[in-house]
């Protein structure tokens, strides 16, 4: 089954320097019908103004994945990690026993990103951070594995997360069709352009839940960018 959540229906918070859309309940936005999707608890579609960002704040026992869509974000944390993640790349922070970090847009342009939180399958692990660069060439027969804790993805270069989950992504040229396998259940994000999934249309910014399916056909109606988050169903 496919359930689409249009961009206009998402939770919205405009802080001036941060314009955020929430796919699930987050901070001041609470929707009792939208509190997560299995182990996937947060997807924030954020636009961070040039020169602005999130000040130092703590996290624990959460897998926090950031996929940068436009611009770049600079990370600093209490483990002395510093890194700049740019469009098309991904960073992962396993908060584990606890870590404090900041995220700032030090660029001259606004930065667009997805912030994704996945509940880990192991608590109180040592905190860690890593960033990965991925091919910018269009996906043709499969999406790239950006982050994963699935055993079948070991050695494929994906950023590691503490969960039997995976995040796939890539840009697709208009007319491309990709068959995406699903291990558990999937949440799709139409980052750019227009796509159909098994004939159901998503436009830029939309999200969709996919349940009770072992695979889906993703068709790029225009040049597009798509993310697929495959997570266990804890319900």
Can you give the pLDDT at residue 234?
A: 80
Residue whose structure tokens are 């930065």? 111
Q: Would you give per-residue pLDDT tens digits along the chain (235 residues)?
A: 999 999 999 999 999 999 999 999 999 899 999 999 999 999 999 999 999 999 999 999 999 999 999 999 999 999 999 999 999 999 999 999 999 999 999 999 999 999 999 999 999 999 999 999 888 899 999 999 999 999 999 999 999 999 999 999 999 999 999 999 999 999 999 999 999 999 999 999 999 999 999 999 999 999 999 999 999 998 4
Q: Which tokens sit at 33?
A: 């019908």
Q: How many Å apart are CA 213 and CA 172, to the nearest integer?
A: 22
Question: Of all residues in the chain, what percent are helix, strand and coil, respectively (each to 5)?
Answer: 5, 55, 45
The Cα 63–Cα 40 span in angstroms is 10
Max distance between CA atoms of the chain, in angstroms, equals 47
Fold of 2-231: Jelly Rolls (2.60.120)
Which tokens belong to 204?
A: 């830029």
Pick from 77, 69, 76: which is nearest to 46 by CA?
69
Structure tokens, 171: 């840009």
User: Which DSSP state fits 46?
Assistant: E
Query: Could you give the CA distance from residue 41 to residue 75 in angstroms, rounded to a whole number?
Result: 22
Give the global pTM: 0.97
Contact predicate 108/50, CB 8 Å: yes
Per-residue tokens: 20: 């955020």
Kindly state the DSSP code that residue 151 receives in the 8-state scheme: G
């Amino acid at each position: 089954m496919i359930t689409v959540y249009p961009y206009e229906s998402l939770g919205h918070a405009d802080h001036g320097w941060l314009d955020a859309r929430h796919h699930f309940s987050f901070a001041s936005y609470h929707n009792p019908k939208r509190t997560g999707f299995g182990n996937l608890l947060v997807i924030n579609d954020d636009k961070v103004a040039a020169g602005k960002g999130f000040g130092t704040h703590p996290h624990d026992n959460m897998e926090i994945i950031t996929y940068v869509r436009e611009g770049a974000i600079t990370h600093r944390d209490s483990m002395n990690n510093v890194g700049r993640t740019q469009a098309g790349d991904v960073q992962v922070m396993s908060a584990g026993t606890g870590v404090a970090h900041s995220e700032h847009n030090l660029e001259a342009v606004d930065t667009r990103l997805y912030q994704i939180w996945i509940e880990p399958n192991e608590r109180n692990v040592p905190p860690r951070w890593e960033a990965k660069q991925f091919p910018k060439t269009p996906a043709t027969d499969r999406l790239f594995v950006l982050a994963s804790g699935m055993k079948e993805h070991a050695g494929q270069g994906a950023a590691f997360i503490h969960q039997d989950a995976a995040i796939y992504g890539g840009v697709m040229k208009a007319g491309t069709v990709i068959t995406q396998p699903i291990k558990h259940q999937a949440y799709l994000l139409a980052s750019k352009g227009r796509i159909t999934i098994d004939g159901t249309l998503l436009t830029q910014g939309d999200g969709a839940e996919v349940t009770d399916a072992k695979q889906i056909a993703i068709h790029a109606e225009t040049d597009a960018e798509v993310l697929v988050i495959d997570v266990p169903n804890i319900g």
